[in-house]
Structure formats: structure tokens, C-alpha cells
Amino acid sequence: MIILNDYSTVVVPRKLKNKLDDLKEHERESYAQVIEKMILQLKELDESKLELSEDTLKAIEEGKQDLIKGKVYTSKQLAKELGF
């Protein structure tokens, strides 16, 4: 049984509807299913951006070691070195 209170009507331009049609994996797939898949993919993409690459993690560790060893410049030293 379909309960109409659980649904909403959304108006979209025909071009967007055609794009949604192109994303369907099969003819009977609903637009709700297509949109839900897109949202899940978007969430996965966003989460993958939060992960640091091995190169980035290595650079952070090298920076920490430089700091511990005193291989750093103060902002005044850096400004002087750069001629500001």
C-alpha cells in the first residue's frame, strides 16, 4: 500500500529529467532510487576527500621532525631572508 503522505512532488526542468533518465540503470528504476544513489555517491566522495594521502602524512611527519630538531625560522628571520 502506498501512503501519499510519505511522498512529495518535485518540479524539475525537462533537461534535468532527461539527465536523470540517462542515469537510470534499468527502465523501471524510480527517480527516487536514482537520486538516492547519487546522494550516497556524493557522501562517499566527500568522505574520501577527508582522508590524507601517504605523501601528505609523510610531509606532516617530516615537518614535525624539523620542528623537534629546531629546523625552523621565526617570521622575522624568514622576512629578513626573503628581503622584506
Task: For 27-55, write each residue's pLDDT tens digit.
Answer: 999 999 999 999 998 888 777 677 788 89
The residue among 50, 46, 23 whose CA lies nearest residue 36 is 23
| Per-residue confidence (pLDDT) for residue 6, from 0 to 100 | 79
What is the average pLDDT score of the chain? 88
The residue extents of the domains of the chain are: 11-51, 52-84
Q: Give the containing element (helix H, strand E) for 60.
A: helix 54-69
